[in-house]
Amino acid sequence: MLAAGDIIGPETLVITREQIVRYAGASGDYNPIHYDDERARSFGLPGVIVHGMLNMGVIARIIKSHAPRQAHFERYGVRFRKMVQPGQKVVVSGTVQSVHREHGQTRVAMDVLMALEGETSAITGQAILTWPDEP
């Protein structure tokens, strides 16, 4: 069971170009900054960047994997602070800020983070998960 102060992760992973292609197909987001290095650079970017929503999904999957199966996101929001490029190692973690149990429900609020390995945070945010308590 999660408790205030618990740390989820950290989990280190790499988002690949294949994941970006699959995400583009699923989301319909075919912006060339996500698949064409030359076009991305023409927009002043360092090269192809990972979709922000793909990054959010990766964070959500990791956070959710540490909660009970029946948990769902009541609220989830992030701030994009730095671009993530395919092949970069990222570190995802969460810190439980509070746990409230009432009326047969558990509600957990946490801060979430995706950082570039050895660097500053790329994404910061908050998530609130809720689930029914076991009888």
What predicted TM-score, i.e. pTM, was given to this entire model? Answer: 0.93
2 located within any domain: no
Whether 135 shows a pLDDT value over 80: the answer reads no
Q: What is the pLDDT of residues 13-22, one digit of tens each?
A: 999 999 999 9
Pair 15, 55: CB distance under 8 Å: yes
Is 128 within the bounds of a domain? Answer: yes
Distances (CA, A) of 14 to 41, 59, 90: 21, 12, 6
**Total number of domains constituting the chain:** 1
What are the tens digits of pLDDT across the range 38-87? 999 999 999 999 999 999 999 999 999 999 999 999 999 999 999 999 99
Residue 1 lies in a domain: no
Number of C-beta neighbours around residue 124 at 10 A? 15
Specify the pLDDT at position 119. Answer: 86
Which three-class secondary structure state does DSSP give residue 50?
coil
Domain that holds residue 20: 7-132
Domain harbouring 83, CATH code? 3.10.129.10
Q: Residue 67: inside a domain, yes or no?
A: yes
